[in-house]
Amino acid sequence: MTFKECIRADVSDVFLNIDEFASLHTVNGRKIPIIIDNNELIEREKKAKSSMDGISVRTTLIYAKAKDYGNLPAVGSRVILDNQVYLVTDSMNEDGVYSIHLEYNRS
């Protein structure tokens, strides 16, 4: 096996395995294994967003297998994660693993 083949196998066998790091969540009406990584967001943002009218923004970063998720969501599209509607602010396909940055306004 090449290194890249080993990494692809690890995506399913380790990282997005519900017995290891992932957990099942409902995404757009389907239960799929994902990783919710709010710690990575802390490192990426370092500061909370808020607006002048008392509404704050809640952000979440999820990782999902491309084959489980479907088409990569476009920036500005909506994703329903565990019955909460989020807006996609960034999405990337990282060799078959989607990194999707989500946010919603809360008061």
Instruction: Give the integer Cα–Cα distance in Å for 58 and 28.
Output: 19
Whether the model pTM is above 0.75: yes
Q: What is the pLDDT of residues 41-100, one digit of tens each?
A: 555 554 445 445 556 778 899 999 999 999 999 999 999 999 999 999 999 998 889 999
- 3-state SS assignment for residue 56: strand
Q: What is the pLDDT of residues 10-49, one digit of tens each?
A: 777 778 888 888 999 999 999 999 999 877 555 555 444 5
pLDDT of residue 41: 59
Class of domain 3-106: mainly beta
Contact call for residues 15 and 97 (beta carbons, < 8 A): yes
Instruction: Give the integer Cα–Cα distance in Å for 64 and 74.
Output: 15
Shortest CA distance to 28 belongs to which of 76, 74, 89, 70?
70
Kindly give, in sequence order, each residue whose CB lies less than 8 Å from that of residue 41, ignoring residues fewer than 6 positions away. Answer: 59, 60, 61, 101
